[in-house]
């Protein structure tokens, strides 16, 4: 299991604390420093079953500067959204947890983090 975090984010710190409390095995990716490529973002979107606009933090100042609110949310604009996420990783929703069963979850709630733990346990058994 891998968790993409911003250490300054309280939801990320809560997710790490829960993973530790549950004894889950995971690796940390500080995605603002180790920025995911466009291909990595496409792969995590496939695992999440989401579109890039679904994991974009549209209230960030960078999103407003880019005018993301006006970007179309359709297949023809998908590559543009992915390029924006790769170019501005602060816009990526966090924490993202990739489970060992091949799925991924946006771990913003305790329930979501527990689901990732459960999926990883199933994926390694």
Q: CA 72, CA 5: separation in Å to the nearest integer?
A: 27
The pLDDT value recorded for residue 122 is 77
The pLDDT value recorded for residue 8 is 95
Percent of the chain scoring above 90 in pLDDT: 94
Q: CA 97, CA 95: separation in Å to the nearest integer?
A: 6
Element (H, E) at 94: none
State pTM to two decimals.
0.92
The pLDDT value recorded for residue 124 is 59
Residues (pLDDT < 70) of the chain are: 123-125
The pLDDT value recorded for residue 121 is 83
12, two tokens: 């990320």
Contact 55, 45 (CB under 8 A): yes
The label of the residue with tokens 């060992």 reads 100
DSSP codes of every residue in 16-81: HHHHHHTT---EEEETTTSPPPHHHHHHHHHHHT--GGGGB-TTSHHHHHHTGGGS--SGGGHHHH
Write the pLDDT tens digit of every residue in 21-47: 999 999 999 999 999 999 999 999 999
In which order are the strands placed within the sheet that holds 2-5? 27-30, 2-5, 96-98, 104-106
């Amino acid at each position: 299991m891998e968790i993409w975090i911003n250490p300054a984010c309280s939801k990320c710190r809560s997710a790490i604390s829960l993973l530790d409390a549950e004894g889950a095995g995971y690796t940390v990716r500080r995605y603002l420093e180790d920025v995911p490529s466009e291909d990595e973002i496409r792969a995590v979107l496939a695992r999440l079953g989401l579109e890039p606009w679904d994991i974009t933090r549209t209230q960030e100042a960078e999103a407003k500067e880019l005018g993301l609110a006006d970007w179309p949310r359709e297949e023809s604009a998908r590559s543009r959204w992915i390029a924006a996420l790769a170019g501005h990783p602060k816009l990526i929703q966090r924490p993202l947890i990739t489970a060992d069963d091949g799925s991924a979850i946006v771990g913003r709630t305790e329930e979501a983090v527990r689901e990732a733990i459960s999926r990883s346990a199933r994926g390694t058994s």
